[in-house]
Chain A
Amino acid sequence: MTTYYTSEHEWISVDGDVGTVGITKFAAEKLGDVVFVELPDVGKSVKKEADMAVVESVKAASDVYAPVTGEVTAANAAIVDEPAKVNEDPEGGGWFVKIKLADMGQLTGLMDKAAYEAFCASQ
């Protein structure tokens, strides 16, 4: 399982042709306490770099962009019920959706962990 990162602070962890998507620890810390999450319905088609979910903290509301094009196969209802999970474990239990990738080639444009950490340090 390999994890990739976007410059919009999403992560995608790919297993076969399905990727689990969430926001990074860096993003969760920047957002502050998350108080509301809106996820796409299962079965919905999402497009790379288009908004897919909404996350709201006490500071701001932000769009979460799909890191890849594909179809949503699962949505994490736990974070809708308990948004605090996004802050507690953003890169684990606080995942947002699972996406069945339409084009595995889209992963090549994303960052690996080291590149993403360097990117965050430059922010």
Chain B
Amino acid sequence: MTMNSTGRPTSISPVDGAGTLTTVTGSKGLLQAEGLIFEIGSTDKTGVDLAMPKGIKSRLGGVTRGAPTGLPGLTEPEAVRHYVRLSQRNYAIDLGLFPLGSCTMKHNPRLNEKVARLPGFADVHPMQPQSTVQGALEVIEELADWLRKLTNMPAVAMSPKAGAHGELAGMLAIRAALIARGEGETRKRVLVPVSAHGTNPATAVQCGFIIDEINAAPDGRVDLEDLKSKLVDSSDVAGIMLTNPNTCGLFERDIRTIADLIHAAGGYFYCDGANFNAIVGRVRPGDLGIDAMHINLHKTFSTPHGGGGPGSGPTVLSEALAPYAPVPFIVKTAEGLRFVEHHSEAPDSFGRMCAFHGQMGMFTRALAYILSHGADGLRQVAEDAVLNANYILARLKPLMSPAFEGYCMHEALFSDGFLKDTGVETIDIAKGLIDEGYHPMTMYFPLVVHGAMLIEPTETESKAELDRFCDALASIARRAVQKDPSLKTAPHLAPARRLDETRAARSPRLKWTPEAPTLKAAE
């Protein structure tokens, strides 16, 4: 073994059988073993030590808690360490390529974070007098202006708090427009392609519509003939909900025809704008005949997301739907910007969707992203997203089975065709990726592709990182074709091995209960 000048070995000696070494602590190297917070917490500790206030008079009217709460007590460093240790078992966009793509989260430029933390944006309160938050209102209005221009749509509702909330805004606007036409009771049928995001039919049903599925053509796009057959009797058609590019990562080339067919049938065109990141700066939805479309700010404009929020789903509306937009919305007056909040000022509005004005923190970040990229930069975002996905498609095409022929948009989609007769399934490929240090890709969605594997690298990955990922996936694909049995038991190197999803779903334990009732109340 070679030594350096201070006598330390320059390389470590290999340990046979990685992971077989057991430790006293249960930790592996610097990866700490960590129990549940209830298991590590005890009742005689607390992060904050407050003296019991004197002379308290209970105002609870005799419903004071009698039994201990059973909450675990931890000191502040213990609580911090608990969550940091858990976070180290997680995979994150800041650790490496995330093949789930922008659906979960793409890179959050740190400039956005800096801007969002400026006190004038970060510390405003929604109930402050509007005259004191003119700058914040200007941010909302300027972002709204960009969204209107990028989509070529005349109006945008800024308050929806997530993509699905934006869908709800769009469909409620469609319902309001139908009611205003006197057709609210007769036009109930909403057409939804089979490849749609699950939220589309769910939203329509939530608004009282009935779903009619449209089949996919062999090329993965909407089957126009099937669509036409469902419009033969169109007196009950409320509209269509279509994603473009669709969930198969393909541009719906017939979108103008589809819009014309729907409009001729008396319906409205809702576009699921989840995949706007693939076309921003290149295609304006308003030019395609779309009546309403939500924009997921995290997908196209890089705001943080995942783990339950915060989302933001501004929804652009056509001339036909604009009068029904939800309150509040901003208007310019001689005294400055002002929210229209009430029905009296917006009689046609379908109403209010949330208490305040939407996700201010997301607006600031999205606008920072837009302004730092500029119009040409945003166009390049879409172009690079599509280029990166096609690079992955091209590199893996010889080993895996692309779901459809031709180029893709921002997502490369493979079926499990190449796994036929190997005994290996999509799930095993996903688990193999974990061993290689990657979070798995989207799997088994869209449902129209058998054993689907959907990979969205996003625009920020370098060629070197894409190559590293492709090398890993290519190696797994080769092992699969050679029927490597170790794939069936992967992951081998992850902190947790293959989890029993069936048992977790059939008999979930959602509540921690102590082995014995030993826990006393935290003081």
Contacts and interface: CB of A to CB of B under 8 A. Distances in A.
A58 B505 contact: yes
Contacts of B444: 59-60
A56 B506 CA distance: 11
A58 B430 CA distance: 14
A116 interface: no
B196 to A, nearest CB: 14
B506 to A, nearest CB: 5
B295 to A, nearest CB: 27
Contacts of A83: 506
Q: Is the interface of A mostly helix, strand, loop or mixed?
A: loop
B447 interface: yes
A36 B505 contact: yes
A66 to B, nearest CB: 15
A60 B425 CA distance: 14
B94 interface: no
Nearest to A60: B444
Interface string A37-58: 0000000000000000000101
A16 to B, nearest CB: 33
B447 A35 contact: no
Contacts of A88: none
Nearest to B506: A35
A71 to B, nearest CB: 21
A84 B447 contact: no
A33 B505 CA distance: 10
Given A35-B506, A83-B506, A84-B506, A58 B447 contact: no
Interface in A1-58: 33, 35-36, 56, 58
Contacts of B505: 33, 35-36, 56, 58
A22 B298 CA distance: 42
Interface residues of B, number: 7
Contacts of B427: 59
Interface in A67-123: 83-84
Contacts of B447: 60
A121 to B, nearest CB: 13
B501 interface: yes
A66 B125 CA distance: 54
Nearest to B447: A60
Contacts of B506: 33, 35, 83-84
A59 B449 CA distance: 13
A65 B427 CA distance: 27
Contacts of A35: 502, 505-506
A36 B501 CA distance: 13
B340 to A, nearest CB: 41
B131 to A, nearest CB: 51
A36 to B, nearest CB: 7
A123 B502 CA distance: 26
Contacts of A33: 501-502, 505-506
A33 B506 CA distance: 9
A84 to B, nearest CB: 7
A47 B147 CA distance: 44
A36 B444 CA distance: 18
Nearest to B211: A51
Nearest to A30: B450
B239 to A, nearest CB: 21
A106 to B, nearest CB: 21
A56 B447 CA distance: 13
Nearest to A32: B502
Interface string B420-440: 000000010000000000000
Contacts of B502: 33, 35, 58
A83 B505 CA distance: 10
Interface string B25-61: 0000000000000000000000000000000000000
Interface in B471-514: 501-502, 505-506
A105 B71 CA distance: 64
Nearest to B505: A35
A56 B501 CA distance: 13
Nearest to A33: B502
A58 B427 CA distance: 11
A114 to B, nearest CB: 24
Contacts of A59: 427, 444
Nearest to B508: A35
A2 B402 CA distance: 41
Which of A36, A59, A60, A83 has most chain B Cβ within 10 Å?
A59
A58 B508 CA distance: 13
Contacts of A36: 505
Which residue, B447, B501, B502, has most C-beta atoms of chain A within 10 A?
Answer: B502
A51 to B, nearest CB: 9
Contacts of A58: 501-502, 505
Can you list the 9 inter-chain pairs with the closest CB atoms, starting with the nearest?
Answer: A35-B505, A33-B502, A58-B501, A59-B444, A35-B506, A58-B502, A60-B444, A58-B505, A60-B447
Interface of A: 33, 35-36, 56, 58-60, 83-84
Interface of B: 427, 444, 447, 501-502, 505-506
10 contacts: A33-B502, A35-B505, A56-B505, A58-B501, A58-B502, A59-B427, A59-B444, A60-B444, A60-B447, A83-B506
Given A33-B502, A59-B444, 16 more contacts: A33-B501, A33-B505, A33-B506, A35-B502, A35-B505, A35-B506, A36-B505, A56-B505, A58-B501, A58-B502, A58-B505, A59-B427, A60-B444, A60-B447, A83-B506, A84-B506
